């Protein structure tokens, strides 16, 4: 029986078209899902859309469309990223679905009754964040995320008594019961918790919500606060509302010695996931996620890419210009995994040329051409490992374990450079001219290329499969990564098929 592995990314608001900042996150989570499948695990990967936000209502009103029509159109644009970015998600949850409404209401009803209470409240509210801020959290009177003044809102809402879980949450984060990666984000969460947790509003009046969203159980005049309802998507998509088999298999994972439930999120929503969400789960006596990986932002001229700021770049436009795999490769290798990174067309083009055209693309062409010239397009007899592949794979797994996608790619780029150095130093063309036996070297280079193709499968799957096909390997017949990373997987007599150039020059 395969070990289950459940991975999600944050669900975006559908108040506008997708931007490449969201593309970064879903490519990261997709890469992890593909890697874990290669390890032989039973992976379930979830994407979706957050459709109950007041932001979506306001955006629909601005263009004069019914809210349902508006969110349907925009949700479709997010779903289409599956093709544009080569995503392999297993499910796509829309928070307007019946299964989500049922599950979100079940979560509310499952929370400890002592943790939910109703009171009148006045506060500073940012619609962009769907969050109340205190005066000292503002920057020059503006929301720190959206650089806009918050609204003053006064009404009677339900509140969640997060303060009940102050000490418990601190211990959970300290002891890595929920591991937060990278470490400095863990410290940020601990600092926030130790600053004193405040109870937070978990509902809105039906008037302010414009009647849009998940109704509060037992109170038709209140709509669930979007973050309470949105966060529950991770379990509502597993049919939590009906105690479904998916929920048992992928969230609870009862029969497993260690659970693996991973959230991939941006730094701006860390308090919701690492504090509010955990508090809600504790209250409802639901198992917690095991890992939260927190990435930085994609910036444009140093500013966060944001639909509300208006400096967005649609990932579909970038893919149409350069192709799916080059975009995936740049988002994973050209952007920092942990910190903010600036996106520009010039950086993209330089990275593409240096690392895809002149890197793995050129190396693939060199090795296949030599096999064509000096081995009649046939894999020769096996020869010993000269590259210390065990060490390379150990480092590869270490970086994946820590969600260091940029380091994974740097490792592979370094390995490609070593292969080129071997070719340049040994000069197989001169060896062949002088009558020396070039076959062992050709096997070593071809087998090295196989390892590169396997290692690239989670990152640039289509191009990696082309590399493997050129070596006579059917990627659908691969075994687990543990077996494939063993030296000698390329079999004598396999037919080489050079094919077309992997990455043409721009």
- Mean pLDDT for 435-460 is 98
Residue 146 has pLDDT above 70, yes or no: no
Per-residue pLDDT, 270: 96
More confident position, 331 or 141: 331
| Ramachandran quadrant class, 285 (left: phi over 0; alpha: psi -120 to 50; beta: rest) | left
For position 344, what pLDDT does the model report? Answer: 87
d(CA 91, CA 135): 40
pTM score, whole prediction: 0.93
Phi, psi of 21 (to 5 degrees): -65, -40
**Cis, bond preceding 106 (omega within 30 deg of 0):** no
**In whole angstroms, what separates CA 40 from the centre of its chain?**
19
Cis geometry, peptide bond prior to residue 143 (ω within 30 degrees of 0) = no
Tell me the mean pLDDT in the region 328-353. Answer: 95
3-state helix, strand, coil in the chain (%, to 5): 50, 15, 35
Asked if 35 and 52 touch (Cβ cutoff 8 Å), the reply is no
| CA distances from residue 404 to 28, 39, 338, 418 in whole angstroms, order as listed | 10, 17, 8, 21
pLDDT of residue 145: 73
CB 75 within 8 A of CB 95: no
For residue 120, what pLDDT is reported? Answer: 87
Lowest-confidence pick of 29-38, 152-161, 216-225:
152-161
Tens-digit pLDDT profile for residues 197-215: 999 999 999 988 889 999 9
């Amino acid at each position: 029986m395969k070990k289950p592995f459940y991975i999600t990314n944050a669900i975006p608001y559908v108040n506008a078209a997708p931007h490449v900042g969201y593309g970064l996150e879903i490519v990261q989570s997709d890469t992890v899902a593909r890697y874990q499948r290669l390890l032989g695990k039973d992976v379930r990967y979830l994407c979706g859309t957050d459709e109950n936000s007041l932001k979506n209502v306001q955006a629909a009103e601005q263009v004069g469309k019914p809210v349902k029509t508006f969110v349907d159109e925009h949700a479709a644009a997010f779903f289409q990223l599956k093709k544009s970015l080569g995503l392999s998600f297993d499910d796509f949850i829309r928070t307007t679905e019946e299964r989500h409404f049922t599950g979100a209401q079940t979560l509310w009803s499952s929370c400890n009754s002592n943790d939910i209470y109703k009171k009148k409240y006045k506060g500073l509210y940012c619609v962009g964040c769907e969050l109340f801020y205190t005066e000292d959290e503002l920057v020059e009177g503006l929301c720190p995320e959206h650089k806009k003044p918050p609204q003053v809102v006064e009404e009677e809402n339900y509140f969640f008594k997060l303060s009940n879980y102050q000490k418990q949450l601190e211990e959970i984060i300290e002891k890595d019961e929920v591991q937060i990666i990278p470490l400095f984000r863990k410290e940020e969460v601990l600092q926030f918790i130790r600053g004193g947790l405040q109870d937070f509003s978990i509902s809105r009046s039906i008037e302010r919500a414009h009647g849009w969203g998940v109704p509060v159980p037992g109170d038709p005049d209140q709509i669930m606060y979007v973050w309470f309802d949105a966060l529950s998507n991770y379990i509502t998509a597993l049919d939590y509302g009906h105690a479904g088999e998916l929920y048992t298999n992928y969230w609870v994972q009862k029969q497993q010695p260690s659970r693996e439930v991973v959230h991939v999120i941006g730094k701006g929503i860390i308090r919701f996931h690492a504090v509010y969400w955990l508090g809600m789960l504790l209250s409802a006596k639901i198992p917690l996620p095991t890992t939260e990986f927190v990435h930085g932002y994609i910036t444009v001229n140093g500013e966060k890419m944001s639909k509300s700021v208006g400096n967005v770049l649609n990932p579909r436009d970038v893919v149409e210009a350069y192709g799916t795999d080059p975009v995936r490769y740049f988002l994973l290798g050209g952007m920092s995994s942990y910190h903010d990174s600036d996106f520009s067309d010039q950086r993209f083009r330089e990275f593409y040329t240096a690392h895809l055209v002149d890197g793995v693309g050129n190396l693939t062409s060199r090795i296949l051409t030599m096999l064509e010239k000096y081995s009649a397009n046939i894999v020769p007899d096996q020869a010993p490992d000269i590259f210390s592949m065990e060490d390379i794979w150990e480092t590869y797994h270490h970086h994946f374990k820590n969600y260091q996608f940029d380091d994974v790619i740097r490792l592979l780029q370094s390995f490609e450079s070593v292969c080129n150095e071997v070719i340049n130093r040994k000069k197989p063309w001169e060896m062949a001219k002088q009558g020396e036996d070039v076959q062992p070297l050709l096997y070593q280079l071809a087998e090295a290329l196989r390892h590169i193709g396997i290692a690239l499968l989670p990152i640039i799957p289509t191009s990696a499969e082309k590399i493997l096909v050129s070596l006579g390997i059917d990627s659908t017949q691969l075994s687990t990564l543990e077996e494939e990373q063993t030296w000698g997987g390329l079999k004598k007599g396999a037919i080489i098929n050079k094919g077309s150039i992997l990455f043409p020059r721009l």
